[in-house]
Structure 1
Amino acid sequence: MTPSARRRVPAVHDALADLRWLINPRRRLLPRQPLTSSDHAPNRCARSSFVSETRTPGQASDYEYVCIITFIKEASTTLRRQQQLADMDEEVHGIVIVGGGICGLATALALHRKGIPSLVLEKSENLRAAGGSIGVHVNGWRALDQLGITGELRETADNVTEFHDVWQHENNKSVVVPVRGELRWVKRKDLIETMAKNIPSGAIRFGCHIADIKPANPGSHGAILTTLDGSIIRAKALIGCDGGNSVVAKYLGLSPPKSFPRLIVRGFTRYPHGHPFGPHFLRLRCNGLFVGRSPMTENLVNFFVGVWHPGGSVTKDPIAVRGLVLEKVKEQCSDEIVEMVHDVDTESLIVLTKIWYRPPWQVMFSSFRRGTATIAGDAMHVMGSYIGQGGSAAMEDAIVLARSLSRAAGSGGGGGELCEKKIGAAMAEYVRERRLRVVRLSLESFAMGMIWATKSMLAKLACQAIVAVLGTHSLGHTNYDCGRL
């Protein structure tokens, strides 16, 4: 305590000094001059009617006990006030969803359809509607049917009826594969905005970046989330839909995803007078080059070009990468492919330098639940776009998870309220139901990626055998129904 503080609050200073002397055994063994009540600050200032009382070292006066008790009471009051302020800053919610992408919004919408409220925390300042398109196969449309938003989405995209596979380096060998059921390329923007507008107002909180997650107090299965600005959010149930680099997956103890080196450019090309490609999805394989082209509407075409590269730094500037890819396309592809890449809408360009994936053995054996916390979508099973199932699988996750939690709410005996002791069991049921499905998808995607990435002929043959057994080329993985919500 500074000298000025001693002058302002001498009684507190004396009380603290006496308290230190009383509770320190070593100090009490040292000789100390007997004190009287007049020696204390209040009596030094006022010299009032205190009766002098002499005490020996180790013996506290009544006045000192009063000071000590007063000090302890004031400290307790201060601590209570600080705790009250902390409690005021802490929010408590039932279900918290981290991530406002396709999976997070689909999960929130599915829960809303079942009458269960949730809070979506999105780190960006607005909807993450930027990006290209997502190919939605029949299994994805079945999930969207359960969400109740297929009507307006189907109006935004034409149906694709067949795949046209061409191997240019094998004398233009070609195979036509009919699409199983329904396939439409939907703009990510349309999908995200349609989901968001069907979720109750205020259920999505933007600019909320989760920095840390800790388990709740012992005896509770919830989680405590801390944001970058220091806010505290307590969640009874936590669902991580925050992508491959998931903070919730780290909380569950999962290893980071791995990656294949691959340069991919994606974008839209507009044809004001209509394109001549029909309802066909072209998949063109060249030497070290893979081109995909699919119509979205009669005037809009979605495409991607993948180039295997051995590593090193590759610029992510879309215009520069388009020039690089255009040179490679000119060497091997027809004029209509060159024109499509050249005339791309530059604002729609997306550049990827790595394909992230979670190895199938991790998907098979990892624990995707901790108490009342779990993950879905890319946070659980991030995979390459080789089989076009990332988005559809995420929407399947949303349906199954919401269904399991709805059963928990209905069986909790709380009039539809989520019972905490049932949430963990519901999440365990969700993980069991989804595991084999996402293991198969992860294995297919991994095998397709290894065929491109590995230089080992033995590994290539093994992966080709996996693809053949699982029926990847015949689109067997799309013939799946996640069930009713």
Structure 2
Amino acid sequence: MHRQEESGEDIVIVGAGLAGLAAALGLHRKRVRSVVLESSPELRASGFAFATWPNAFRALDALGVGDEIRKLHLHIEGLRVMSSSTGEIATEVDFRHEFCCVRRDVLLQVLAAELPEGTIRYSSKIVSIDEHGDGAKILHLADGSALRAKALIGCDGINSVVARWLGLAKPSHSGRSATRGLARYPDGHGFPPKFLQFFGNGFRFGFMPCNDTDVYWFYTWSPSPDDDGVDESGARMKQYVLTKLRSSKVPAEALELVERSDNAPAAPLRFRPPLSLLFASVSKGNVCVAGDALHPMTPDLGQGGCAALEDGVVLARCLGEAILGGGGGGATGATEKERIESGLRRYVGIRRWRSIELIGTAYVVGLMQQSNNRIISFLREKVLSRVLAGRLVKMSDHDCGTLSS
């Protein structure tokens, strides 16, 4: 098929997920135009919902949509961690900070609605990237067309084409898997605004309300040979979760959550080895990555989506100011190409260590929470549960800043 080259796009963002839309909206707030390429025909809301800690709300406030998200979701007042083997409360933490369980589809719709019409181009899947002699990137799409970009931002998830082009290490399998669901109660669920977690017996299960009618739940476990095939269909996975929960000290209302949900597809939990990011080329010239394309991590801190929003704000600030000639954009008289490259290097300098710390901490916390080792299990239930809960809160105490230096 003949490929048509299209010109005129300064900033091309690949992926209309949290990081991609946050970056696009941040640039729009700074009056810098971008185009977002999304491979699917519409916004995707995989994952159902995500924990939204104070660091995420700071990013949402910087983007100008924080109050709208607050109105649509309940404020979660605290965390209760319980043993699924004994039913005892291991620790309880009252949140003195902002925390919600935000529906992913709602947030994506709010972000997209703030963008100029035509910013998101759906059914636009990148299959390869070439480099033009002047440094511009030529993006070849699945439909045979091509797009020229002065700056390329990969927000295309854990299987990122852009991350692969940069040469970043492939995400590793953590040895654990997860499934998630959303239970709907049209007449109201009646659950208190609490985040409940159960651990032990080789799994971690938790749930919390998003609003008055929707409750999000998750289940993570380490598959064994006996579990072969349970994740081949959502229906089998749902029954597997119900069987495991019925054999544990989990309350009946938690079982009802799973029963009320649609079939629950499972996926392996993967992460990018944190040390691989120490010297990796997170940016190369006028190309960089953000969100899961940069820092895929296990969900044990509830920081994947939050970090993606942070990325979007920092990237928009650094790149926007560089393009407009503001702070951090390189020496006076620098060319546009030099300013773009300088802005992306500045972004990487801010986000590299934060990404390494989040990935590494999430991995360790996950191992400790799900370990069947008798010594770790004893310490977890008697001592470590409060330490781990405190770590969740500490990692959320981060401020990515505003859209201005």
Q: Same fold (TM over 0.5)?
A: yes
Match of 2:17 among 101, 110, 114: 101
Aligned to 2:393: 475
Match of 2:282 among 342, 348, 368: 368
Q: Matches of 2:388 and 2:370 in 1, distance apart?
A: 20
The reply on whether 1:199 has 2:95 as its aligned counterpart is no
Which 10-residue stretch deviates more, 373-382 or 260-269?
Answer: 260-269
Deviation per CA, 1:157-196, whole angstroms, max 9, x where unpaired?
A: 1000100011233561421112251111111110111111
The reply on whether 1:383 has 2:306 as its aligned counterpart is no
After superposition, the CA RMSD in angstroms is: 2.9
Q: Matches of 2:268 and 2:147 in 1, distance apart?
A: 34
- Residue pairs, 1:240-259, within 5 angstroms: 240-259=154-173
Which 10-residue stretch deviates more, 400-409 or 261-270?
Answer: 261-270
Aligned to 1:319: 235
The AA in structure 2 aligned to 1:441 is: L
Contact 2:203–2:370 (CA under 8 A) maintained in structure 1: no
Aligned to 2:254: 337
Q: Matches of 2:253 and 2:210 in 1, distance apart?
A: 17
Cα distance, 1:180–1:242 mapped onto 2, change above 3 Å: farther
Which 10-residue stretch deviates more, 404-413 or 204-213?
Answer: 404-413
The AA in structure 1 aligned to 2:279 is: F
Aligned to 1:262: 176
Aligned to 2:101: 185
Match of 1:429 among 324, 330, 346: 346
Aligned to 1:238: 152
Q: Matches of 1:466 and 1:278 in 2, distance apart?
A: 25
Q: Matches of 2:182 and 2:125 in 1, distance apart?
A: 31
Residue 149 (structure 1) shift: 1.1
Q: Secondary structure at the match of 1:123?
A: coil
Residue identity over aligned pairs, in percent, reads 35
The reply on whether 1:125 has 2:31 as its aligned counterpart is no
Q: Matches of 2:281 and 2:93 in 1, distance apart?
A: 37
Aligned to 1:282: 196
Q: Matches of 1:408 and 1:356 in 2, distance apart?
A: 34
Contact 2:55–2:396 (CA under 8 A) maintained in structure 1: yes
Contact 1:139–1:392 (CA under 8 A) maintained in structure 2: yes
Q: Matches of 1:293 and 1:95 in 2, distance apart?
A: 39
Q: Matches of 1:309 and 1:343 in 2, distance apart?
A: 24
The reply on whether 1:401 has 2:315 as its aligned counterpart is yes
Residue 96 (structure 1) shift: 0.5
Aligned to 1:39: none
Cα distance, 1:205–1:467 mapped onto 2, change above 3 Å: farther
Structure 1, unpaired ranges of 5+? 1-84
Aligned to 1:306: 220
Question: TM-score scaled to structure 1, two decimals?
Answer: 0.75
Residue 272 (structure 1) shift: 4.2
Greater RCO structure (CA 8 Å; 6+ sep): 2
Q: Matches of 1:293 and 1:466 in 2, distance apart?
A: 21
Q: Secondary structure at the match of 2:210?
A: strand
Q: Matches of 1:356 and 1:384 in 2, distance apart?
A: 6
Contact 1:273–1:299 (CA under 8 A) maintained in structure 2: yes
Q: Matches of 1:212 and 1:107 in 2, distance apart?
A: 22
Q: Matches of 2:385 and 2:214 in 1, distance apart?
A: 31
Residue 299 (structure 1) shift: 2.8
Residue 410 (structure 1) shift: 2.8
Cα distance, 1:240–1:284 mapped onto 2, change above 3 Å: same
Deviation per CA, 1:455-481, whole angstroms, max 9, x where unpaired?
A: 8899999x9999998975451011111
Match of 1:443 among 357, 360, 369: 360
Contact 2:230–2:240 (CA under 8 A) maintained in structure 1: no
Q: Matches of 1:242 and 1:466 in 2, distance apart?
A: 36
Structure 2, unpaired ranges of 5+? none
The AA in structure 2 aligned to 1:428 is: R
Q: Secondary structure at the match of 1:365?
A: coil
Cα distance, 1:450–1:247 mapped onto 2, change above 3 Å: same
The reply on whether 1:139 has 2:61 as its aligned counterpart is no
Contact 2:82–2:199 (CA under 8 A) maintained in structure 1: yes
Deviation per CA, 1:52-111, whole angstroms, max 9, x where unpaired?
A: xxxxxxxxxxxxxxxxxxxxxxxxxxxxxxxxx97x633341001011111111111110
Aligned to 1:164: 80
Q: Matches of 1:110 and 1:423 in 2, distance apart?
A: 16
Contact 2:179–2:220 (CA under 8 A) maintained in structure 1: yes
Q: Secondary structure at the match of 2:247?
A: helix
Cα distance, 1:124–1:202 mapped onto 2, change above 3 Å: same
Residue 350 (structure 1) shift: 4.1
Contact 1:444–1:470 (CA under 8 A) maintained in structure 2: no
Cα distance, 1:160–1:118 mapped onto 2, change above 3 Å: same
Residue 274 (structure 1) shift: 3.3
Contact 2:127–2:142 (CA under 8 A) maintained in structure 1: yes
Residue 454 (structure 1) shift: 6.9
Cα distance, 1:124–1:200 mapped onto 2, change above 3 Å: same
Q: Matches of 1:418 and 1:109 in 2, distance apart?
A: 25
Deviation per CA, 1:333-387, whole angstroms, max 9, x where unpaired?
A: 222222222222x1xx542230011111122231101111000000000111111
| Matched length | 393
Cα distance, 1:418–1:451 mapped onto 2, change above 3 Å: farther
Higher Cα Rg, which structure: 1
Q: Matches of 2:40 and 2:84 in 1, distance apart?
A: 42
Which 10-residue stretch deviates more, 377-386 or 321-330?
Answer: 321-330
Residue 130 (structure 1) shift: 4.7
Q: Matches of 1:204 and 1:358 in 2, distance apart?
A: 28
Match of 1:224 among 138, 141, 150: 138
Contact 1:136–1:392 (CA under 8 A) maintained in structure 2: yes
Deviation per CA, 1:124-146, whole angstroms, max 9, x where unpaired?
A: 11111354112111110010001
Q: Matches of 2:388 and 2:371 in 1, distance apart?
A: 20
Deviation per CA, 1:289-328, whole angstroms, max 9, x where unpaired?
A: 2210101223322111223212544434222211121111
